[in-house]
Amino acid sequence: MARTGSEHDARVSVSAARKIALSAPWIDERDEELVLEVLRSGQLSLGPVGPRFEGLLAEAVGAPYCAAVSSGTAGLHLCMRLAGVGPGDEVITSPYSFVASANCAIYEGATPVFADIDPSTLNLDPAAVEAAITPKTKAVVAVDIFGYPCELDELLAICDRHGLALVEDACEALGALYKGRPIGSHGHPAVWAFYPNKQVTTGEGGAVTTGSAQEHDLLVSLRNQGRLETSSWLQHGRLGFNYRLDDISAALGVGQLERLDRILESRGEVAERYAQLLAGVDLETPLANDADHVRSWFVYVVKLPAGVDRDAVITRLGGDGIACAPYLPSIHLQSYMRERFGFSEGLCPVSEDASARTMALPFHARLAHDDQRRVVEALRIALEAA
């Protein structure tokens, strides 16, 4: 079919429009210098920069101990070891998260048990956690989804009452506060992740912070092939892993953590601008902070009204050069979870409803105001058409 001139022009201008990425790391000259210093030093792993990075992170989250690891997933896996999770055990976690929060239990032969979430916070509903406890339950992995702190006091009380370990998947929450204190400062192990879409990046990388010297010693050994503090390079006191973070990655992390406040502030400003631009658009914006919960902005996720074809909206924005994503699918409905454990629709209705309606907009510390305007305008048009 022949196109009119204006249709053709519109297509050309859309394809010529600059693409707006879903996320982007913020790397500056200081980061580059620090990485180069390590490269020039010749000591690319097990050097002095790893501990420097750990010190800065421990200070930022108010934890006495920090062990850097190769990814957030590795950190979660090691926390299963700390909790003594093994074959036959059950680990309760959130279905509305990244798969690693549940996979870590499977790595140790345990079964993930999904408790439903609270529709407003999108974090684990403590009542659902308590209802999911059985004699086989060993641990709870609570997630601070999209940087919004989970209900720590209630979850800690439940774990205390039932003798369970609490592991906090804080991979998305660096800088968040619960009841005025940083996430990570409450004593139990908290896991951090530094993939390039995170607030702070090391390329790939992660960390576990804890208030326990004993847990820290075990983490340090487990990440380093089970070596003991006293043993030489080829002496291994236990079965371990190579989950070390190299010094090149750690150097990038040092640069990032040195300006953590600026990074968090910029992300907060971008979120605030979205909130203003989206006023009057028919969708739910992210839950606001309250006295007990201060979010660290990881992604900007909106919830569309029921009945709107969310995937069509994402496709249409993609056609306009704007990358959005269907954050987050419910973990229990991933194909390998269905096949392995027989999970199906209806297990966690609140999570499933959120999964069908939520989407992440482009979001990073240096997203330009004009780009945000373009995203919101395109979203408005896509919603009208959906």
Ligand X SMILES: Cc1ncc(COP(=O)(O)O)c(C=O)c1O
> Which spans of this chain sit near ligand X (rule: CB under 6 A)?
71-73, 97-98, 100-101, 143, 169, 171-172, 193, 195, 206
C-alpha dihedral over 234, 240, 245, 247, to 10 degrees? -10
Residue 148 vs 343, nearer CB to ligand X: 148
Residues contacting 203, CB < 8 A, separation 6+: 194, 196, 248, 249, 252
To the nearest whole angstrom, how small is the minimum distance from the Cβ of residue 5 to ligand X?
Answer: 46
The residue type of 250 is: A
Which residue has its beta carbon closest to ligand X?
72
- Give the DSSP letter of residue 84: T
Spatial distance between the Cα atoms of 155 and 162, rounded to a whole number of angstroms: 11
Residue 92 has which token pair? 């309760």
To the nearest whole angstrom, how small is the minimum distance from the Cβ of residue 172 to ligand X?
Answer: 5
Spatial distance between the Cα atoms of 183 and 207, rounded to a whole number of angstroms: 14
To the nearest whole angstrom, how small is the minimum distance from the Cβ of residue 44 to ligand X?
Answer: 20
What ranges in the chain are assigned the alpha helix state H?
5-16, 29-41, 49-61, 72-82, 100-107, 126-132, 152-162, 213-223, 247-258, 260-277, 310-319, 335-341, 349-357, 369-385
Residue 103 vs 221, nearer CB to ligand X: 103
To the nearest whole angstrom, how small is the minimum distance from the Cβ of residue 377 to ligand X?
Answer: 29
To the nearest whole angstrom, how small is the minimum distance from the Cβ of residue 248 to ligand X?
Answer: 16
Residue 63 vs 68, nearer CB to ligand X: 68
DSSP class per residue in 173-241: -TT-EETTEETT-SSS-EEEE--TTSSS--SS-EEEEES-HHHHHHHHHHHBTT--TTS-TT--SS---
Residue 97 vs 121, nearer CB to ligand X: 97
Residue 51 vs 203, nearer CB to ligand X: 203
Spatial distance between the Cα atoms of 114 and 98, rounded to a whole number of angstroms: 13
Spatial distance between the Cα atoms of 207 and 75, rounded to a whole number of angstroms: 6
Within 10 A of 276 (CB to CB), how many other CB atoms are there?
Answer: 9
To the nearest whole angstrom, how small is the minimum distance from the Cβ of residue 74 to ligand X?
Answer: 7
To the nearest whole angstrom, how small is the minimum distance from the Cβ of residue 303 to ligand X?
Answer: 18
Residue 34 has which token pair? 């620090």
To the nearest whole angstrom, how small is the minimum distance from the Cβ of residue 71 to ligand X?
Answer: 3
Spatial distance between the Cα atoms of 272 and 297, rounded to a whole number of angstroms: 10
Residue 198 vs 216, nearer CB to ligand X: 198
Residue 73 vs 121, nearer CB to ligand X: 73
367 upstream amide cis, omega within 30 of 0: no
Residue 73 vs 249, nearer CB to ligand X: 73
Residue 145 vs 322, nearer CB to ligand X: 145
To the nearest whole angstrom, how small is the minimum distance from the Cβ of residue 211 to ligand X?
Answer: 21
